[in-house]
Amino acid sequence: MKFWLAAAAMIAALDVCAQDSAPDEALEWLKKIADSARTVSYSGTFVYQHGRKVETSSVVHYVNQAGGVFERLETLDGPPREVVRANDHVTAYIPDAKAVLVERRSTRHLPVMLPENLSDLKQLYNVTKLATGRMGGFDCLWISVMPKDTLRYGRKFCAELGSALPLRAQVFNERKEVIESFGFSQLSLGGKFNRDQVASRYEGRARAQKWRVDRSALDVVEQATDTGWIATNLPVGFRKSMEVKRTIVGRPLALPHLVYSDGLAAISVFVEPKLRELSGRPLTRQGAVHIYKRVYGEYIVTVLGEAPAATIMQIANSMELRNAASAFPK
């Protein structure tokens, strides 16, 4: 279940003017933003908007001195959903379906997904400081990360001056239109750890009513290895950052999974045997994420990520099987 990034309505119209500043100073602010979710405790309410869809959620996020992260997310409108996290152990409660999903997840943290190494970004993006602003009673600084081409999305963040926690964030497409946005409508920073605030309010009901518990994701195993697949025509700036085989309970074969990144955007490639003909449109979009499916001989290649459709399709159409024995050994 994706974390619900967000923003208060139509913040694309916000008028911020760039100020003269050294690019390295802006990169330092990006590093602070990337670190904030691992170092700052907070709680509040945020709004996530993509297209015409708007979701409001509450969040409690604690970081202890030993590095542990405890978090509880709950939607406040639409069907109820709750996600409770203790480090990499994630439990999602879906009351309408009377279901509990349990998994381990190594993920970038709410609310901003940034790489830890940002030193190469300035080769592909213009990273600049913008004007200061005020959001929800907090002073913040706008940082702009805009691409130098049309192969990737741009982003803007307004980081709280003391903690660097992003109070608002926007994602821009290749036409400089806001396609996804996030913003806190209410926020409290700091606070002592309170286990009750990160405990599920559905756990007791789920046990009493014997909700269905799905732990199948815990049995997914990833092993770094040569998958036999290669991208022969990567967009400028993208490099392979991960190559594994994913073993899923109930499936006889380990499936290739590759990730390509430019340091900010991450694009995943999944390959599976073609058991049936593809139906529906090959290219779809969910918020800022494009998903493209392509038939390659006896296989289906699925590519997805927060990037323009042309970038996703270029990677998908360049995937080739160079070593069938490595991809799906007999």
Per CATH, is 11-214 categorized as 2.50.20.10?
Answer: yes
Cα(316)–Cα(234) distance, integer angstroms: 9
Mean pLDDT value of segment 313-323: 94
Paired sense of beta strands 212-214 and 99-104, if any: parallel
pLDDT of 287 reads 82
pTM exceeds 0.95, yes or no: no
The pLDDT of residue 220 is: 76
Q: Where are the domains of the chain?
A: 11-214, 220-327
- Mean pLDDT within 8-35: 56
Over residues 258-277, the pLDDT tens digits come to 999 998 889 999 999 998 88
CB atoms within 10 A of CB 317: 16
The span from the first CA to the last CA of the chain, in angstroms, equals 34
Instruction: Give how far Cα 200 sits from Cα of 64, 71, 85, 103, 212, Å.
Output: 19, 10, 10, 15, 16
Is there a contact between 12 and 170 (Cβ–Cβ < 8 Å)?
yes
182-237 confidence digits (pLDDT tens): 999 999 999 888 889 999 999 999 999 999 999 888 777 888 899 999 999 999 99
User: For residues 305 and 312, is the Cβ–Cβ distance under 8 A?
Assistant: yes
Tell the CATH topology of 220-327. Answer: Phosphorylase Kinase; domain 1 (3.30.200)
